[in-house]
Each structure stands twice: as structure tokens, then as C-alpha cells.
Amino acid sequence: MKMLTEQEIRSAFVNCTKGEASRLNVPRDLAESPWDDLDFLGWRDPQAPDRAYLATELDGRTVAVALRSSGAAAWQARRSICSLCVTTHTGGVSLLVAPRAGRAGKQGNSVGAYICSDLACSLYVRGKREVGTRLHESLTVEEKIRRTEANLAAFVARVTA
Ligand SMILES: [Zn+2]
């Protein structure tokens, strides 16, 4: 994906208030992120590790989503599969919950997904970050990237629906 600026990211949040979007921690080293290898930028707030964020481009538009860890510790110890990149981890997948956009979110509705705890799905898919166990699949990297993009688009659609 193309590089995003801090301002582009802050103004792209679909499921938090403008005030929250202006205060949340965006990585300072954006210029050093491996943009060419990213389907989305995902990060955790170093000051509030239960908060995670992702930003991506969908249909030519930048979209950012605020997420929270559910704190389901039992899940983290188990072997589980990321719902975006389909990487199998032992202890490296978190249940992340996103408030839904608009009125649904204000009423407390949210959607959850099991996602790599470090939000580095793009790197796992490309083999740029390793995991202990890898499900053998006959898909090419290109096919895995397309699947990750489709899964991410479906997740964002559930947040913004
Ligand atoms: Zn993943």
C-alpha cells in the first residue's frame, strides 16, 4: 500500500470520535514502516497495550479502525488462527473487538475477530515474519495476499455496516 501520513490516518477513523482520533497514539516512525509489504498498517498503543489500530485502503479510500483486546487470556495460550491472514499461532492471536461505526457503536454494538496479536498479518503472509507452526497450504503468496485483503475488507464492512 502507499505510505500514509499521520494526518491521513487520524482523519480516516470510522469508529471513534474526532477527539479520540486526534489523541490516540499513531506510530512515530511511519516513514520506516515496510509499506510495500503491507496490506494494512496495524499497531498497538505502547501506552495502552489493550488498544490496537489498523489503517488500510479500501476502494481508493483510507479507512482506519480502532480495536480493543478483549483480554481473553485463555485464548491467547491456545493454538489459534488469525481470521485475516489465516496464520496459525500458539499464543499469538488476540480477540480484537471494534465498536461499530455510527449509532450502532454508540449503542454499544461491536464486532470481534481473532487477529495476529502484533497485527503483522501482511508480513506473515509474505513469509517476512516467521511463526513456529505454519499450516501447509498450496496457495501462492499472491493468493494469500488476496485472501487477507478480502478478509480485511469483510471485517471493515462489518464495522461500518
Ligand atoms: Zn494475521
- Residue 45 above 70 pLDDT? yes
Contacting residues for 151 by C-beta, under 8 A, at least 6 apart: 83, 84, 85, 86
Q: What's the gap in Å between 66 CA and the centre of ligand 1?
A: 16
In contact, 144 and 72? CB cutoff 8 Å = no
Model confidence at 32: pLDDT above 70: yes
pLDDT value for 133: 65
Distance between Cα 60 and ligand 1 center (Å): 22
Distance of CA 134 to the CA centre of its chain: 20
What integer is the mean pLDDT of 50-56?
96
Under a CB-based contact definition with an 8 Å cutoff, are residues 131 and 79 in contact? no
Q: What is the pLDDT of residue 78?
A: 67
149 pLDDT exceeds 70? yes
Average pLDDT score over residue span 21-36:
96
Contacts of 139 (CB under 8 A, 6+ apart): 147
| 31 CA distance to ligand 1 middle (Å) | 22
Q: How many whole angstroms from 87 Cα to the centroid of ligand 1?
A: 6
Q: Are 21 and 42 in contact (CB under 8 A)?
A: no
Report residue 90's pLDDT band, with 50, 70 and 90 as the boundaries: confident
Please give the pLDDT value at position 52.
96
Q: Which residue has the cell 503483522?
A: 120
pLDDT of residue 43: 97
**Residue holding cell 491472514?**
85
- For residue 127, is it left (φ>0), alpha (ψ between -120 and 50) or beta? left
Q: What is the pLDDT of residues 93-145, one digit of tens each?
A: 889 999 999 999 989 999 999 999 999 999 999 999 988 666 678 899 999 99
Residue 125 alpha carbon to ligand 1 centre in Å: 8
Q: Are strands 48-58 and 61-69 parallel, antiparallel or unpaired?
A: antiparallel
Q: Is the pLDDT of residue 74 over 60?
A: no
| pLDDT band at 153; cut points 50, 70, 90 | very high
* CA-derived radius of gyration, the chain: 15
